[in-house]
Structure 1
């Protein structure tokens, strides 16, 4: 973009052009003064009981988000299916009209469109649908309002995975921005600014006059602190005259926000934080490479159970996960599998919610916890082994794998005289490891996890593993074990973690079984091993 200064410099010696330009500028300013100002949106009040839902609008039949691989293979990637798939198109005003009408019929107050736009990436597929789909969405709302129809307002769900360098074509491609730096703050704020600039104010979902932003996981940022959000508030107020109301995923919990929620309620919920997050169930078996547990819908009982707990909690906002994420089977919209069943349930419980009804009933579930996937026969040659390892110093391995993830980016390097693996520097990041199922899957015996690490700098190494402890996070998938506090001796040290209740059901990200949560200075590991001690006779 050419600056105003350089633009005007071209004409400073051409007085007649300057005079014409002056007239044109004045005329333009007068026209702007006469142009109608988009009215401020009506606002929800802090005392209102509100219901919102996550709105996935990335679908375009048949080329986008319907099939995996080539279209000829017709490898269906959806668990739930639209009843009229050929009409589904993020650029179709008619499709958005139907969805918004159905959402309004349920009594839902606002939608959080899942936004994948990012500065520097608007010409990529995820940027294209984010922009064009948002334009069609607000046109649909315009037409519904013009016909006097009730319609949910529009907030924003910032899918923070777009912070990843690879999705913004920024080098290094395996990196992620530090949101405490000037560049990182501008990437973070720029995404939010561009969204709200595109959305007409009359459509804004606001609480106390402040536009509602749902913020996804902090794991896609290399670092953040309160200054990140101070920058957001100050710049948003400068550009829009008001500060946003941010509802942040709990991984951002060290900052001040309008409220916190937990993602994953469709699988492990309901989750009751500042906001009540609920969902109908979870099943992503149609998505290649997944091994996430399944949350059986139990013919609607799990969804009803979640609604009952949300109403009992008295939280002012309920967020439904999701309206139409069809790949992971979390939809409540009209579908080929369930018809309008979950819409009717939503309408029923929204009415109870808004009437401040007192609910005493309990809904018993046949499966109170998510159901694990069956074991794989991959690695069957390790079934009779007593120990597995991966040795980065010797570039050798037996069965144990390190698995890269968006929140677990790593690199091999040389530190302390050894070749080792190091997590990409971040405030908190992870290293994930997968154990072959034939070696250990859903057993009830002790297992040892051994590591060799460089004791440099400061910070912690925290083992989080997939266990039988149903009371731990996500039904035990992320059970916190021992913690190593680094002392900064500069020596290579060894440590053994003793796990008496390991399950290793592949329930962690990337179908892994345990991970190390790493804080502080970068951590280097030269060897990781898993061992089954000899059984006592």
Structure 2
């Protein structure tokens, strides 16, 4: 009986509720998605889970432990399919795929993720990461490559409100001083700079922030929103439920942003929609679905993680406890996307 009960509880968490009608998704709500994980069963070894000197499967480089355990980002029929179901459940229409260059591990997995996203009616935008040797010109070439290689997928994101152009978020854009080579991309693509410094957005077609710590003190956001509207740029400020990277980065000095049972996440949603901060933006970008190293996840975290490692959980989020708390942030996101 206990075994049957445990199985039933697990299925209740992992299976999204059946719906008789199509799920309403907000394509202008974007969520950062990380396809960099691996495990021996699929990829032959663990990828990313050992970060910080840890030894999976019980001991991983994160302060929260996934409900799915240390999964593989290439497990398309298992973990990835479940991810897409969860993102759909949250009402989020667009995932922003962390991409580390042509021929990278993440690049090799993109077709499978696009196919899984299409199954659930989701769209895929792109997060261009700072791989070794990245330049402004290589970014131009990367955009051309992604458009050519993946642009025919039914899941490939194009924003109808902005000329049916695809979206490319450039992480750590401040690391390159001269972005003039990307100027020609603006006609057919939306390339977003990660900054709040308006002197560093020349040649870009949009602005995002990524940093959820900064969202707690949105100085100057009204001016950024006004500037974006006046200059035809997309404004996509970033929000998240919290931040903690103690296990992934031992000895770090980055402040922790506690979740406060969901109050932090609600505060950040309210911040980006507040008229005092520029009002409703073009897009809201969520940090993150599954950046486990930084503890910014909406992906369900286990309510019964391996003991002895000091893992946190979502217990108490929005009044939920136990297995119900594991999906609390997905369901709260659906509440907010229905208002955006």
Shift of 1:262: 1.6
TM-score scaled to structure 1, two decimals? 0.45
**CA distance in 2: counterparts of 1:49 and 1:151, whole angstroms:** 10
Give the aligned partner of residue 247 of structure 2. 286
- The residue that corresponds to 1:205 in the other structure is 157
Asked whether the equivalents of residues 91 and 132 of structure 1 are also in contact (C-alpha less than 8 Å), the reply is no
1:249–1:261 contact (8 Å) kept in structure 2: yes
Residue 223 of structure 2 corresponds to residue 255 of structure 1: no
Distance 1:352 1:193, change over 3 A: same
Structure with the larger helix share: 2
Greater relative contact order (Cα < 8 A, sep 6+): 2
Superposed, 1:159-308 pairs within 5 Å as 159=129, 161-162=130-131, 164-165=132-133, 177=135, 179=136, 185=137, 187-201=138-152, 202-207=154-159, 208-221=163-176, 223-225=177-179, 227-233=180-186, 243-250=188-195, 253-265=200-212, 267-270=213-216, 271=218, 272=221, 273=224, 274-287=235-248, 288-308=250-270
Distance 2:287 2:56 in 1: 32
CA drift at 1:71 = 4.2
Deviation at 1:228, TM superposition (A): 1.6
* Superposition deviation, residue 190 in structure 1: 2.1
TM-score relative to the length of structure 2: 0.70
1:202-224 alpha-carbon deviations (Å, 9 max, x no partner): 22111121001111122332x31
Question: 2:267 & 2:57 partners in 1: Cα distance?
Answer: 39
Query: What is the alpha-carbon distance in structure 2 between the residues aligned to residue 106 and residue 323 of structure 1?
Result: 10
Check 1:135–1:289 CA distance in 2 against 1; reply closer, same or farther (3 A cut).
farther
Q: Secondary structure at the match of 1:352?
A: coil
CA separation of 1:84 and 1:194: change in aligned 2, threshold 3 A:
same
Say which one has the larger Rg.
1
Q: What is aligned with 2:282? A: 316
Are the structure 2 counterparts of residues 75 and 232 from structure 1 closer, same or farther at C-alpha, using a change threshold of 3 Å?
same
Matched residues in 2 for 1:72 and 1:59: separation?
Answer: 12
SS where residue 112 of structure 1 aligns? strand
Task: Check conservation: 1:49, 1:316, Cα contact below 8 A.
Answer: no
Structure 2 CA distance for aligned equivalents of residues 298 and 249 of structure 1: 27
**Helix, strand or coil at the partner of 1:104:** helix
| Pairing partner for 2:327 from 340, 354, 361 | 340
Give the structure 2 partner of residue 97 of structure 1: 81
- Given that 1:116 and 1:130 are in contact with CA atoms closer than 8 Å, whether structure 2 keeps it comes out as yes
* Structure 1 residue ranges (4+ consecutive) displaced by more than 6 angstroms after TM superposition: none
Shift of 1:70: 7.1
1:253 touches 1:260 (CA, 8 Å); kept in 2? no
Give the Cα–Cα distance (whole angstroms) in 2 for the partners of residues 329 and 51 of structure 1: 20
Q: Secondary structure at the match of 1:260?
A: strand
- The structure in which a higher percent of residues are strand is 1
Looking at structure 2, the residues matched to 76 and 229 of structure 1 have their Cα atoms a distance apart, in angstroms, of: 39
Query: Could you give the per-residue CA deviations for residues 7-45 of structure 1, whole angstroms, max 9, x where no partner exists?
Result: xxxxxxxxxxxxxxxxxxxxxxxxxxxxxxxxxxxxxxx
Does structure 2 conserve the Cα–Cα contact (< 8 Å) formed by 1:61 and 1:85?
Answer: no
Judge conservation of contact 2:115–2:155 (CA < 8 Å) in 1.
no
Aligned match of 2:10: none
| Contiguous gaps of at least 5 residues in structure 2 | 1-25, 41-45, 225-234, 303-312, 315-325
Shift of 1:104: 1.2
Q: Give the root-mean-square deviation of aligned CA atoms.
A: 2.4
Question: Which residue number corresponds to residue 135 of structure 1?
Answer: 111
Instruction: Tell me: CA distance 1:254–1:351, structure 2 relative to 1, closer, same or farther (3 Å).
Output: closer
Distance 1:295 1:327, change over 3 A: same
Deviation at 1:191, TM superposition (A): 2.3
Select the residue among 133, 151, 156 that pairs with 2:126: 156
CA distance in structure 2 between the partners assigned to 1:60 and 1:216 by the alignment: 22
Question: What is the alpha-carbon distance in structure 2 between the residues aligned to residue 340 and residue 296 of structure 1?
Answer: 18
Aligned partner of 2:50 in structure 1 is: 67
- Provide the C-alpha distance between the structure 2 equivalents of 1:231 and 1:289, rounded to a whole number of angstroms: 43
| Pairwise CA distance, 1:131 | 2.0
- CA distance in 2 between counterparts of 1:285 and 1:322 reads 17
Give the length in aligned residue pairs.
261
1:98-132 Cα shifts (integer Å, max 9, x gaps)? 111111111112111011124xxx2xxxx1x2122
Deviation at 1:311, TM superposition (A): 2.2
Report the CA distance shift for 1:293/1:258 in structure 2 as closer, same or farther (over 3 A). Answer: same
Structure 2 vs 1, CA of residues 188 and 316 (structure 1 numbering), >3 Å: closer, same or farther? closer
